């Protein structure tokens, strides 16, 4: 049949409500709050060494967020969109020296007894974490803006996880100075705004079923990045009792 | 001889003063203020159609500056450096709707009788201009930060050119509304600060003679981009007397 030689007609796009619900289902199913290491962290089961290992490796992820956000900014076609995305870079890098999310993560590390210079050198960064972070940065470098922005939609689930983190750290790890937890607290409000903006863009940009499926796949990929980071930390050798 | 199998020892690096003087010599020799089209523009010899053609095509270059600056930002390793470079994006995109260098260029176009929507669609962008701008953006995307930042050092010569532009437009092209010239005026101070910052980075980053030579080559490349843009505009068919 001649028609089989033609490109197949794609499926009809999902309705906006259906598309949004499929996006929201991704972090509900596979966000890293379900990872065994996070569950142990939140139940207070981690040793000091394990918690420090997580902080040092999560810091490696955090410090690359403005890098991937600058790569996304370079893909956005209008001053208005770039202004919106630039705010994310500013939240992490701060408006002045000693401010911003990266600085707050360094302070969490110090509050947990880690050396600031060692964190900055990345001494404790595990190979799997380095690969996961590189993978995410390269995804944002190489994929279209729809997918790079859709990948950021893990922020839909971040505020709840940050609240859980604050509660768990206060209850189970009182040896960490409470001031160190500012990195979680600030993301509770920032994460909500970031995800609303990104969701609005993704819903409006994805016109075809193919676009919508690629956006859902991008969000699944991002969940895999966060999951792989915890896999690496969970399997690291952390000396007991330290 | 065994020694011929070894990598050759590079030339000794130039002193900082020698390196700076070689960098400054590049725009002195080949900045686009020497291009025949710019000389005609500044002497008042352009027709309205030619001037409009230049504005529409230079606008295509201007609107890509925040894109290349976001790509440079993504290469910078610290929050402090990224904060410095982010300011450039903000200067072009503005802090609010209706502000910033891109908006000022749109207003120059409108002051010269060009249609804003047509400028935004890029209707008049010439193939050679598109290629020159793509070439510059890709240079900043693909080359190391030393070279991408060195390429921005045409800003060393920009404030003088902007002053010449303001004078020439006021004297020779009074049919352009004077408010339209804000895009030149704002770059007189911004360009000075941008080039001082970038020069400081390039001087401190280039440790070897090879680094220094690559920085000089990057600045030559950038001069070529601006030159090629004017070549394309100079050879465009612009209807006379329009």
pLDDT digits (tens, 9 = 90+) for B212-233: 999 999 999 999 999 999 999 9
The alpha-carbon gap from B136 to the nearest alpha carbon of chain A, in Å, equals 14
Please report the pLDDT score of residue A237 as a whole number. Answer: 73
Please report the pLDDT score of residue B238 as a whole number. Answer: 65
Asked if B100 and A79 come within 8 Å (Cβ–Cβ), the reply is yes
Q: A176 phi and psi, to 5 degrees?
A: -90, 125
Average pLDDT of adjacent 10-residue blocks, chain A of 242 residues: 60 97 96 96 97 98 98 98 97 96 97 98 98 98 98 93 94 94 90 93 98 98 98 82 43
> Which residue carries 């400054």 as its tokens?
B24
Residues contacting residue A237 through CB under 8 Å, at least 6 positions apart: none
Please report the pLDDT score of residue B119 as a whole number. Answer: 98
Q: Does A65 touch chain B (CB under 8 A)?
A: no
Proportion of chain B above pLDDT 90, given as a percent = 89
Contact (Cβ atoms closer than 8 angstroms) between residue A62 and residue A100: no
Domains of chain A, by residue range, sit at 16-234
Please report the pLDDT score of residue B10 as a whole number. Answer: 81
> Which residue carries 């796009």 as its tokens?
A13
Please report the pLDDT score of residue A5 as a whole number. Answer: 61
Contact (Cβ atoms closer than 8 angstroms) between residue B30 and residue B227: yes
The alpha-carbon gap from A141 to the nearest alpha carbon of chain B, in Å, equals 9
Which residue among B67, B86, B102 places its CB closest to the CB of A86? Answer: B86
pTM, two decimal places? 0.93
The answer to whether domain A16-234 has CATH 3.50.50.60 is no
Q: Does A70 touch chain B (CB under 8 A)?
A: yes
Is 50 exceeded by the pLDDT of residue B1? no
Please report the pLDDT score of residue B237 as a whole number. Answer: 74
Helix, coil or strand: residue B49: helix
| CA nearest to A72 within chain B | B70
Residue A94 with chain B: CB contacts under 8 Å: 79, 83
Contact (Cβ atoms closer than 8 angstroms) between residue A31 and residue A225: no
Task: Identify the CA nearest to A65 among candidates A163, A158, A166.
Answer: A158
Please report the pLDDT score of residue A112 as a whole number. Answer: 97
Is 80 exceeded by the pLDDT of residue B9? no
Q: Does B71 touch chain A (CB under 8 A)?
A: yes
Confidence of residue B4 (pLDDT cuts 50, 70, 90): low
Which residue among B74, B90, B97 places its CB closest to the CB of A67? Answer: B74
Q: Does A27 touch chain B (CB under 8 A)?
A: no
Helix, coil or strand: residue A224: helix
Average of per-residue pLDDT across B167-182: 94
Q: Does B89 touch chain A (CB under 8 A)?
A: yes
Query: What does the alpha-carbon distance between residue A198 and residue A202 come to, in Å, rounded to a whole number?
Result: 6
Contact (Cβ atoms closer than 8 angstroms) between residue B50 and residue B110: no
> Which residue carries 């410090």 as its tokens?
A63
What's the farthest any 2 CA atoms get from each other in chain B?
A: 73
Q: Does B67 touch chain A (CB under 8 A)?
A: yes
The alpha-carbon gap from B45 to the nearest alpha carbon of chain A, in Å, equals 34
Q: Does B64 touch chain A (CB under 8 A)?
A: no
Asked if B71 and A66 come within 8 Å (Cβ–Cβ), the reply is no
């Amino acid at each position: 049949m001649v028609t089989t030689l033609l490109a197949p007609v794609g499926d009809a796009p999902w309705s906006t409500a259906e598309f949004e619900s499929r996006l929201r289902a991704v972090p509900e199913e596979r966000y890293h709050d379900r990872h065994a290491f996070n569950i142990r962290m939140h139940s207070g089961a981690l040793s000091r060494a394990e918690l420090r290992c997580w902080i040092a490796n999560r810091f490696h992820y955090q410090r690359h967020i403005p890098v991937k956000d600058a790569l996304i900014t370079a893909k956005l076609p209008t001053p208005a969109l770039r202004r919106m995305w630039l705010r994310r870079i500013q939240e992490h890098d701060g408006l002045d020296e000693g401010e911003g999310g990266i600085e707050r993560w360094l302070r969490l590390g110090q509050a947990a007894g880690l050396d600031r210079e060692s964190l900055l050198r990345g001494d404790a960064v595990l190979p799997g974490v380095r690969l996961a972070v590189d993978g995410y940065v390269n995804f944002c470098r190489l994929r279209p803006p729809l997918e790079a922005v859709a990948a950021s939609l893990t922020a839909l689930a971040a505020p709840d996880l940050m609240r859980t983190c604050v509660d768990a750290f206060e209850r189970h790890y009182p040896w960490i100075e409470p001031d160190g937890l500012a990195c979680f607290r600030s993301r509770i409000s920032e994460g909500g705004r970031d995800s609303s903006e990104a969701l609005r863009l993704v819903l409006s940009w994805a016109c075809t079923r193919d676009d919508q499926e690629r956006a859902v796949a991008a969000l699944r990929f991002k969940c895999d990045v966060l999951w792989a980071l915890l896999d690496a930390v969970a399997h690291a050798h952390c000396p007991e009792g330290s």
